[in-house]
Amino acid sequence: MIRARIFLADDHSQLLEAETDLLRPHFDIVGTAMDGGALVTEALRLHPDVIIADITMPVLNGIEAVQKLVQSGSTAKYIFLTIHSSQEFVQACLEAGAQGFVSKSKMKAHLIPAIYAVLDDMSYVPSSSQ
């Protein structure tokens, strides 16, 4: 079975480490970025299957970075992993092109199911995020 290629973007190194530890047994982590500019550059270079991004990052926020990737023709699936949980943020992420939205506080329970859902072209927005 081919493992999905995942790219992670967050401006907190400890969270990137926790995400990597959680996901590595199930997926190939092909890269990480700590700002939205690096996310765009590296994602276009590496062509991951799924990009997991925070909203609040330097240079470009996650929503702006995803919009740039979509406009550039990236075929990745997008999931936001964030502390923001208001309906306005959920809607903005979905409008930018994301198919998944997971609260950082629920990462262990929801991130892996979210990845499998978006890989199957389904959206994943747990009701706890709304």
pLDDT tens, residue by residue, 18-47: 999 999 999 999 999 999 999 999 999 999
| Token pair listed for 88 | 């306005």
Q: What is the pTM of this model?
A: 0.92
Q: Is the dihedral of CA 106, 107, 108, 109 positive or negative?
A: positive
Q: Could you tell me the CATH superfamily of domain 5-122?
A: Response regulator (3.40.50.2300)
Please, what is the Cα angle at 34 between 2 and 106, to 5 degrees?
65
Per DSSP, 75 falls in state -
* Cα(92)–Cα(89) distance, integer angstroms: 5
| 51 within 8 A of 100, measured Cβ to Cβ | no
Which tens digits make up the pLDDT trace of 56-72? 888 988 899 999 999 99
Residue spans per domain, the chain: 5-122
